[in-house]
Amino acid sequence: MVGLVNCSRWCLPMLMFVSIGNAWALPSNSDILSDIEDLHLHRTEMRFGEYIERLQRQDLTTQQDLIQQLTAQFALTAQDELDECRLLSLEDARFALSLAKERLALTQSNHFSDLTYNGNFSAMQDGQAWYAHWLKSWLQSSVSTAELEKIALAELEEVAKKREELKRSNKPGNNASIKAADKPVIINAFKQRENTVYAYTESLLGSPYRASAINIVESNLPKSFPAPGIYNTAEQEFIYHLHTDNLPVKHMDWLFLHEAVPGHHYFSQYALHEATCPALNHLRVSTLFTEGWAAYVETLGEQLGLYNDTSSLSYALDWQAMRAVRVLLDVGIHTKGWDDKKAQAVWMAHIPEQQPIMQREIDRIRRWPVQVITYVYGKAIIEETISAMRAKHPNLSIAEIHRLILDRAPFSLNALSSLRGH
């Protein structure tokens, strides 16, 4: 999970949006990308209820003029004069502008000033339109809820297959744990994983790049905080978060891959320092790309020298299954009006062994709608890109494909469409 300080406490970087404040001068430059880079861009909030309340407090009178001016500039931009990096930037900006137009239309509804979000879009006036907009904002796509459910069910089938393979494995188990108070031991164990993984990254990711040393610190958040780890981009910190007084060793491989290398820390540093296209000021590395990449690289653990015991592999599969179920619950709660009882029944039908965290995750989906989908959908787009590139370019190695994907890290996940041939 990627986090940034000072958005309440934690917030996630999103694909940039045109802000709705009235404190900016309208763009006057003929270069639209420069104009957009000069704007102060806000991030979509994880808590939809607070997002709606903030919109209701805003003065929206300047929004229409800003959108019209930027739309006119897009029409005048000569795309054939732009290199690939600027074209990718332009497409992300165009998508952000389309979201701003859609959002403005939603705020002009007669019901907007009276909207209240209580954890369920289905119970909200214009709720389905807002949920569709929220999906598009987080997923940078108009993907249907039916397609999301299909992806989630495919993930569950894959987990079931891998569990059968795991039963036939000759690897040992590992039920060891480290006391939370033994911070130096925990940090050293994560550092050992860093050394192990870097021995394989060049051959698997196609680049000799090594990110700056990661800071590993313990979380000071309450145990009720739902995520087991956070990556603080600003401080380059991998923050491990314990829900008990012990850290099971079987959690550590998966957590390091996701939060550190080659997950969030590696990805964010690569985007800044190594990607083919520089990270332009107006772009924020998208949540969909970062979480999708981090979820994808969890599947590479054995190729990166980790997952040497069945317990670590099983724990990774627990997360893959749980994320898929969360997609089903998010769609069900917000488009079908599921109450907690129905959500609990679906959870128990798929992952009954994870009942202890069931209500926590249902509450999270109500509080942070759609965010849980980014892991599964982002991973699916990356895997689709890899499959398409292998079919289109059979001589490309997986390392070369990974490198091409990483080179687009500063942009939204839509930047991969050209690799897929779309």
| pLDDT at position 42 | 44
Tens of pLDDT, residues 215-243: 999 999 998 888 899 999 999 999 999 99
| pLDDT at position 301 | 98
Structural domain contains residue 398: no
Per-residue pLDDT band for 43 (boundaries 50, 70, 90) equals low
CB neighbour burial string for 226-258, b if at least 16 within 10 angstroms, e if fewer: bbbbbbbbeebbbbbbbbeeebbbbbbbbbbbb
How many domains, in total, are found in the chain?
A: 1
* Helix intervals (H) in 337-396: 340-350, 358-367, 373-392
| pLDDT at position 32 | 57
Structural domain contains residue 48: yes
CA dihedral of 252, 255, 258, 260, whole degrees rounded to 10? -70
Least confident window among 9-13, 98-102, 209-213, 230-234: 9-13
What are the tokens at 290?
A: 């970062």
What are the tokens at 324?
A: 């898929």
| Average pLDDT of the residues of the chain | 87
What are the tokens at 141?
A: 């796509």
Structural domain contains residue 395: no
| pLDDT at position 321 | 99
Q: Could you identify the residue written with the tokens 């309340």?
A: 53
Structural domain contains residue 329: no
Structural domain contains residue 364: no
Query: What CA–CA distance (Å, rounded) separates 395 from 385?
Result: 15
Distances (CA, A) of 79 to 7, 283, 313, 398, 420: 36, 19, 47, 31, 21
Structural domain contains residue 243: no
Structural domain contains residue 311: no
- Judged against a pLDDT cut of 50, whether residue 1 lies above it is answered with yes
Q: What is the DSSP string of 61-97?
A: TTHHHHHHHHHHHHHH--GGGS-HHHHHHHHHHHHHH
List the domain range (segments joined by +) for residue 107. 2-139
Query: What CA–CA distance (Å, rounded) separates 149 from 285?
Result: 26
- Judged against a pLDDT cut of 50, whether residue 120 lies above it is answered with yes
Q: HSE on the CB side for 353, CA within 13 Å?
A: 7
Least confident window among 159-168, 226-235, 344-353: 226-235
Tens of pLDDT, residues 354-413: 999 999 999 999 999 999 999 999 999 999 999 999 999 999 999 999 999 999 998 889
Neighbouring C-beta atoms of residue 173, cutoff 10 Å: 12
| pLDDT at position 422 | 59
Structural domain contains residue 244: no
- Chain centroid offset of residue 109 CA: 30
Helix (H, G, I), strand (E, B), or coil: what is residue 2?
Answer: strand
